[in-house]
A and B are shown apart, each in its own frame.
Chain A
Amino acid sequence: MALISTLLALRKDPRILKLPPYLSALCILVGVAWLLVLPLNEYSRNTYVSENALLPGQVHTYFTGSEHNVFRAYRHEVASLVDMPLEERNQKLVHILRSNKLKAATQSYSYAASGRNISNQNVYAVLQGPRADATEAIVLVASWLTIDGEVNHSGVALLLTLSRYFKRWSLWSKDIIFLISGDSTSGPQAWVDAYHDSHSPDTIESLSIKSGALQGAVAIEYPAGPWGHRFEKLHIIYDGINGQLPNLDLFNTAVSIASGQMGAGCTLQRMWKHDDNYKERLQTMLRGMISQGLGHATGPHSAFIPYHVDAITLQTVGDGWHDEMTLGRTVESLFRSLNNLLEHLHQSFFFYLLLQANRFVSIGTYLPSAMLIAVSFSITSIALWVLSGRPTSIPSPATTAPLKDSKGPTEKETNKTAVTVVEKDKDKSLLPLAALEVTERSLFLPVAFITLSHFLGLFPLYIFNNTTEAFLAPAFYSTAILTATLPFAAAFTLRRFARPTPQESTLIQCFSLLFLGMFLSALATVNFSLSFLVGIFASPLTFVRGLHAASSPSTPVPFTTKNRLALSAVMSVVLAALNPVVVIRAATLYWGRDIVQVLVQAAEGWHVWGLWTQVVVWLVWWPAWFAGSVVVAGGLFS
């Protein structure tokens, strides 16, 4: 406590108030630099399996021989189903599953997002494990259409073959659920929602067959047509909705089985060739961060992860010598490992950045970078708070430090002169006037303004999630224009009422930065990447200031006051460039995406997957940007 009080005594030192901008800048720089060193060997670790029960690749796999013939037959069957109508196709699939002595059923679902109607049907079957008592289950998913929209011929065929093969084993201690989802993202979502009974029964059919608690899920994507295609590597997709990740043990098990036991290489984040140098590690990590930050569904597995069901997707890529049997045996071995599990996966990491198939950075190592960026906002807000509390001429009565420095003589003088006699009931006493006065912080306007700006964020959120596809583009561009001009309009109107006073504008910025820092640090624990990205784009907000005409003509006129307009204009331009809408558009241009498609997917995410990213953008990032811009624009009109 003593130390704190001395530090607080120090805070009255004007030199401290000059420090924060540099401190924030330092935080941001260190945060970014921190991220850049992560790929180095010193800061990343080799992956390892911490759950002993998994024993990856310790079992011999028997999925060969005549099963291959059966697989080919099923693949032809699947190919013959492609042109059939949905109902007929699914009835056929159900028939095959039933003939493999499983309990099979279908589930219809339909979603409506941005004017489109997503309706399709899932097929699923339950293998009741001979050793199981219906308390636990693991899921094998093969969506009818892959993420890229091709028909998942071999994937579905493999699922059917495996269902027939698994049925013969006596050793399953968990039920196995085979799911053929209508599409790659909404179908699994509908199914897993219904499985946990958190669906809306009028649009999504409830499940007629259920089993125990889901312990894990594996999705396979192998779009090779009826004549097959030999693949080179397995591409493992692991990002869940809202950037939540599956337990690292599941990923490690898949990698060690595929590469160790089957000799098929593993790759991730679309890094088709990866020779493990710094550049490619960094690239992998950044791709991972962006996809985590967007938080969209990256595959059939994504829907499972919010329900605390660890899941991954295995995707076949490239031309090589591995055939469907390799994939089949990988899945068999993986399921044998999951079957060994005694507890729900909990040993290994849930927060990690992968640099390569068997190298990762754990949360303890990377979190500081995002936290530093969040802290930089908090530092500035604290500085602004202190600044707003500093009277121009009278020291606040909390000041207990001896008065010194430049303002010294004048202060002493005032202290000498401004004394008054206080009549107490018994005694008289001489008191310095200054002590009786208090620097009131007028909090009303700032608080109201911050609340209002966060409230304003609701409008774009609502609009983008509820307009039909056709009107999305105009909606987007009009929003862009509005948001670009709004700060100036707001600042101008406020200026008409001679508001905000310098102190108020300082407080506005202080609060907005405080909230931003708070949101981001909370977000960093849930979705590190998103917090980091938003933090980077919002970082200039810590350096801009509202410049005001000097209240009293003092000499020498400080630099900032002299070319106030110029500086304000420059800062406004910078901020205008960092308008979230502009940033989004720029990003879509950079990756060559169509903005409408992005918005449509975002809307689908909002309605189907329960995506939060929009909320962060419109209710956290945008208001902070808006407040900052208004404060800056205030400098133009004062």
Chain B
Amino acid sequence: MLSFLPLLLLNALIPLGSANADYHERLLLRPLPQSAVLASFNFRSNETSTAFEEQNFRYFPRSLGQILQHARTKELHLRFSLGRWDAESWGERPWNGAREGGTGVELWAWIEGQSEEEAFSRWLTLTNALSGLFCASLNFIDATKTIRPVMSFQPEGNHANSSNLHLLHGTLPHEVVCTENLTPFVKLLPCKGKAGISSLLDGHKLFDASWQTMSIDVRPVCAAGGKDCILEMEQTVDMVLDIERSKRPRDNPIPRPLPIEEIACDESKPYNAADSCYPLEDSDGHQAAWNLTEIFGKPLKGACPLTAEEGENAHTVCVNSPPERTIQVNTTGPYLEANLAGDTVRCYKLPTGADFDLVFPSQQMTTGLVLATPPLFAARSINGHGQERGSVQAVIRNPSTSQAVEFVYLESLPWFMKPYLHTLRAHVSSSTENPIKETYYRPAVDRKRGTHLELRMLIPASSTLTLTYDFEKAILRYTEYPPDANRGFDVAPAIIRLITPPSSDGKGTYLRTTSLLLPLPTPDFSMPYNVIILTSTVMALGFGNIFNLLVRRFVGADEVQGTGGLKGMLVAKVARIRGMFGGS
């Protein structure tokens, strides 16, 4: 019988660095059910805004800093994400979802500008520069993929004059995040992956994770009274590693069937024999053995020398697990262990210049993991079939038995997906009243901008909200289809921001649905010429016939040469041919 010990949430623990220290990094490991482990890296570097203005960068990467200055970007949020966060089994999202993005690439920023046009032109500058910096096709975020959210995002930083700040938001759901995005990401770090926790970041393991997201957040933080502002840049990498998969050596990644000897069989089965083996299910509470070097494929090369020497921030590797879990430290250098925020969080100060490894032996636990249930569950899918029309259905569930949840639901749809707002229906399982409190809708314009829909909704305790609306699919010009036209088009995930209960830190609580695949009707790409010819022929037939009737006049058949009928025609033809021969 397992006793359950609730784990403290770490979202409060991580950003505890005080403003004046300059560079912090921290790796938090949290075991998850089904032999998965969540590893969330967090790097923060500060720059006083005066130094930033004068362009002398210490920890703040020059490449990014200059882009921000050139594009007059005051606050920036950039996300690269892959996979799904499985809320049912993994519980609450890291950072309450404030540091993750929808599948693909997501970017939003507060940009200075006298007018919307100016802000938008700077936005284009920003996206183009960033796409160069991160080897991502961010430059494809054009007017049709850009929206201006009104309720869904709040600035995290302190902005002196927010009057001429413009929030712009764009997503690329089809962008496949991969190593070429990670490399520039790591390059932005002071230790460049040579030392410190960033030395664990390896493309192979990162993109083999069940879920991973990289984020960059730049925001101005000012002390009270708006004086001595600093520019804070926070980079995070969160990933959920399947221990079994990650432990495979890189040279032999194929999951061949294990030799039968290595499989634990269930002897209790009557038919259990040499040739039949019912695989023994690992009993709950059993923890698989793993260590850092195995699952990250690299050793942790000591501390990054730029981190603080003393204090809590010096402890850069933390493990959030029941105290009962045995952890062996394997290093040659000196290290420190400390318990932060109760005994469920064990943190380690890394030795400098020596490899550091944490070994988690296989163990049968008596206390199981308890994961905080997320405030909402959300799933979205396309109903109906056929390439003409369909309907989107979003199912949002409030698990809490006590408190209602108020949230903002943001949809950003491509222009060729035309929703019918009058078919929008929201209904709650528990009550009959309309959960929609406020609606912001900006319809799409063909080839100019996409649909932007924001709904503020209230969902009572322990009830399910179903949101549906119909849409129609446009047929595009054949030059507007991508090379893989028959795959369909990706529709960006819906973004949900919780209003109540408010988040403990100022970052807000977010969750995102998965993206959708929207198949469009396709023309035949091989026959523009045939179409032009055939259509023109039909028109010519119609026009020619009528024109013919209009301009000519009738006379009796017997008044002109050549009698009517087939015979007449033949005679005429023969005569003409004879004439030709006579002529030649």
Which residues of A are at the interface with B, using a C-beta cutoff of 8 A?
1-3, 6-7, 9-10, 62-70, 72-77, 99, 101, 103, 128, 130, 132-136, 164-165, 168-170, 196-198, 210, 212-213, 226, 307-308, 342-344, 346, 400-401
Contacts and interface: CB of A to CB of B under 8 A. Distances in A.
26 contacts: A3-B569, A6-B566, A62-B255, A65-B257, A66-B257, A69-B276, A69-B277, A70-B277, A76-B270, A77-B278, A128-B84, A134-B84, A165-B257, A170-B208, A170-B253, A210-B379, A212-B517, A213-B488, A213-B517, A307-B385, A308-B385, A308-B386, A342-B484, A342-B487, A343-B487, A400-B564
Nearest to A128: B84
A62 B256 contact: yes
Interface string B228-266: 000000000000001011000000011111111011010
Nearest to A79: B271
A343 B486 contact: yes
B82 A133 contact: yes
B275 interface: yes
B398 to A, nearest CB: 17
A130 B263 contact: no
Contact of A73 (B82, B254, B276, B488): B276
A377 B543 CA distance: 32
Contacts of B487: 342-344
B34 interface: yes
Interface string B485-513: 11110100000000000000000000000
B10 interface: no
Interface string B69-93: 0000000000000111010100000
A164 B281 CA distance: 12
Nearest to B382: A213
B89 to A, nearest CB: 8
Contacts of B277: 66, 69-70, 72-73
A77 B488 CA distance: 41
A347 B560 CA distance: 57
B393 interface: yes
B463 interface: no
B203 to A, nearest CB: 14
Contacts of A76: 269-271, 276, 278
Given A168-B255, A196-B385, A197-B383, A134 B514 contact: yes
A311 to B, nearest CB: 14
B565 interface: yes
Which 3 residue pairs are nearest across A and B when measured between Cβ atoms?
A72-B276, A197-B383, A168-B255
Nearest to A197: B383
Contact of A196 (B209, B383, B565): B383
A312 B486 CA distance: 21
B334 interface: no
Contact of B84 (A68, A99, A133, A401): A133
Contacts, number: 143
B519 interface: yes
A490 to B, nearest CB: 42
A6 B564 contact: yes
Given A1-B545, A343-B486, 8 more contacts: A1-B548, A9-B566, A69-B260, A73-B271, A76-B278, A196-B385, A197-B384, A342-B484
B384 A6 contact: no
B256 A65 contact: yes
A34 B545 CA distance: 38
Given A65-B256, A198-B385, A210-B381, A99 B517 contact: no
A135 B514 CA distance: 8
A69 B566 contact: no
Contacts of A133: 82-84, 103-104, 514-515
Contacts of B569: 2-3, 6
Interface string B558-581: 000000111011000000000000
A6 to B, nearest CB: 5
B359 interface: no
A343 B485 contact: yes
A170 B490 CA distance: 23
A428 to B, nearest CB: 20
A168 B247 CA distance: 12
Contact of A69 (B254, B275, B381, B385): B275
Given A134-B514, A212-B517, A346-B486, A169 B255 contact: yes
A165 B393 CA distance: 33
A623 B516 CA distance: 47
B550 to A, nearest CB: 14
Among A7, A65, A136, A198, residue most surrounded by chain B Cβ atoms (within 10 Å): A65
A65 B263 CA distance: 12
B342 interface: no
A77 B272 CA distance: 11
Contacts of A226: 271
B583 to A, nearest CB: 24
Among A66, A103, A132, A346, residue most surrounded by chain B Cβ atoms (within 10 Å): A66
B279 interface: yes
Nearest to A198: B384
B13 to A, nearest CB: 29
B165 to A, nearest CB: 32
B210 interface: yes
Contacts of B565: 6, 9-10, 401
A347 to B, nearest CB: 9
B492 to A, nearest CB: 11
B279 A164 contact: yes
Nearest to A76: B271
A187 B490 CA distance: 31
B257 A103 contact: no
B486 A9 contact: no
Among B258, B265, B276, B382, residue most surrounded by chain A Cβ atoms (within 10 Å): B276
Contacts of B486: 343-344, 346
Nearest to B271: A76
Contacts of A69: 260, 263, 265, 275-277
Contacts of A68: 275
A73 B385 contact: no
B182 to A, nearest CB: 16
A49 B486 CA distance: 17
A588 B270 CA distance: 48
Contacts of A72: 271, 275-277
Interface string B198-238: 00000000001110000000000000000000000000000
A588 B259 CA distance: 55
A6 B258 CA distance: 83
Contacts of A64: 257
Interface in B453-496: 484-488, 490
A123 B272 CA distance: 26
Contacts of B488: 213, 344
Contacts of B84: 128, 133-134
B564 A343 contact: no
A122 B92 CA distance: 31
A395 to B, nearest CB: 16
Nearest to A209: B379
A307 B379 CA distance: 22
A610 to B, nearest CB: 13
A213 B257 CA distance: 30
Contact of B263 (A66, A74, A103, A135): A66
B120 to A, nearest CB: 29
B252 to A, nearest CB: 12
A103 B86 CA distance: 10
A3 B210 CA distance: 71
A73 B279 CA distance: 8
B90 to A, nearest CB: 12
Contacts of A343: 484-487
B245 to A, nearest CB: 6
Contacts of B545: 1
Contacts of B557: 400
Nearest to B569: A6
A251 to B, nearest CB: 19
A157 B210 CA distance: 27
B515 A197 contact: no
